[in-house]
A and B are shown apart, each in its own frame.
Chain A
Amino acid sequence: MEPSDEELCKRIAERDADAFELMVDRHQGRAYRLAASVLGNEADARDVSQDAFIRLYESAGRFDGRSRFSTWFYRILVNLCIDHQRKNRWWKRMVPLATPGGDDPDERAFDPPSSEAGPEDEAMVTQSIARLRPALAKLSPQQRAAVLLRTQEGFTSREIGEVLKCSEATARVHVHRGIAQLRKLMAND
């Protein structure tokens, strides 16, 4: 049976290299994708997500198990992302993320339509996604992180609050304002 994140974390605190490797393997994709979506830059996402794993290695002993491991780890990651953006505020490069077929909706690789949506619907969704990316970059770091934690990790408002160190009500406000802002930006586009 696969060890749980919490068990791995305990072993990492005892400097078990195999446990660390397994943990990285398990979370690298999600951590990298979240960092890339929050930062809007793949090179920065690589550095920041690796930094988060280094912090995890160094402070695994401080994980007290009161929250889920993922909440604790994503708090480290999101804080690093927000710090990184603060430090690079003046020369921040919000370069749109590279996509398999380029950023231009017309140049994107064609995704096979699902059974639920026809080609026209799919084209509209594809166009909408292409417009969402730059709109996402315009949200505040907290709003962006809240919306992405909700979408990518399926975190509840309480868990988002734990990651962003705010109350559940404030986390709901971040998500609501983030989505409202995205709607507004997309409508004005």
Chain B
Amino acid sequence: MVTNHPDTQIVPYLRGELSADERARVGAHLEGCAQCRESADASAAILSNLARVVDDVREPDWSEYRGELKRKLRARQASSANVRGRWRRLQEDLRLPVPIFSWPSMALGAAAVAVLALAIVMHRGAGTSQAPGVDQLELQRELSSADVGLLANYHVVEHLDLLENYDVIEHLDELGPGDRQNHESPS
């Protein structure tokens, strides 16, 4: 019983694309395998009919086609020239009087970063040694209640498109129970 049918090689065999060895092997198989012979005949018929399908495509008016293509190409060139022009202008606008990577500017930058890092460390140290002030506690409470407000209205928030419904989010606390119901069941 034949177990390995050269399925994927049948079309290349029909098109004379196989090497001499492969061709001989597939040819010998076809002689002894009725199933593959039938497959080869059907494939040849389909390939031949497919060629007719492609030939049946109705062609456009070619001069109109080329005219449209030229217009598209011109529009594309104009648009890319426009982008290049804008990019060049932006580069010119951003050109600095002093080069960014000169030694004085790099030293100045490094000093600024060091001062900033020192300030952050000192501020953190001060924060851990002291209890939060009254103002800070008040601020934290405000923020927590705002978060809880959002969570309480989560069934409203979950159905919102954040960009389109920015006004609704801003006025969540003004929503009555009826309004919430409306937002809970989006149409």
Interface size on A, residues (CB 8 A): 47
Whether the pair B58, A132 counts as a contact (CB closer than 8 A) is no
Q: Is B129 in contact with chain A by the CB < 8 A criterion?
A: no
Q: Is B101 in contact with chain A by the CB < 8 A criterion?
A: no
Contact partner of B50 (CB less than 8 A), chosen from A28, A136, A169, is A136
Whether the pair B65, A28 counts as a contact (CB closer than 8 A) is yes
Whether the pair B43, A179 counts as a contact (CB closer than 8 A) is yes
Chain A residues positioned under 8 Å from B8 (CB to CB): 169, 172-173, 175-176
Q: Is B12 in contact with chain A by the CB < 8 A criterion?
A: yes
Whether the pair B54, A183 counts as a contact (CB closer than 8 A) is no
Cβ proximity bits B140-183 to A, threshold 8 Å, 1 near / 0 not: 00000000000000000000000000000000000000000000
Interface size on B, residues (CB 8 A): 33
Whether the pair A97, B10 counts as a contact (CB closer than 8 A) is no
Interface residues in A102-160 by Cβ distance below 8 A to B read 125, 128-129, 132-133, 136, 147-148, 150-152, 154, 156-157
Whether the pair B57, A33 counts as a contact (CB closer than 8 A) is yes
A25 to B58, CA, bound (A): 17
Binds A, one of B66-74, B88-96, B105-113: B66-74
Q: How far apart are A90's CB and chain B's nearest CB, in angstroms? A: 20
Report which B residues bind A (CB closer than 8 A).
Answer: 7-12, 15, 17, 42-43, 45-47, 49-60, 62, 65-66, 68-69, 72-73, 76
Report which A residues bind B (CB closer than 8 A).
Answer: 21, 24-25, 28-29, 32-34, 36-37, 42, 45-46, 50-51, 53-54, 57-58, 97-100, 125, 128-129, 132-133, 136, 147-148, 150-152, 154, 156-157, 169, 172-173, 175-176, 179-180, 182-183, 186
- Given contact pairs A98-B58, A156-B17, a sample of 11 additional A-B residue pairs in the complex whose CB atoms are under 8 Å apart: A33-B54, A33-B57, A46-B68, A54-B73, A125-B49, A132-B50, A133-B53, A148-B50, A151-B50, A176-B11, A180-B7
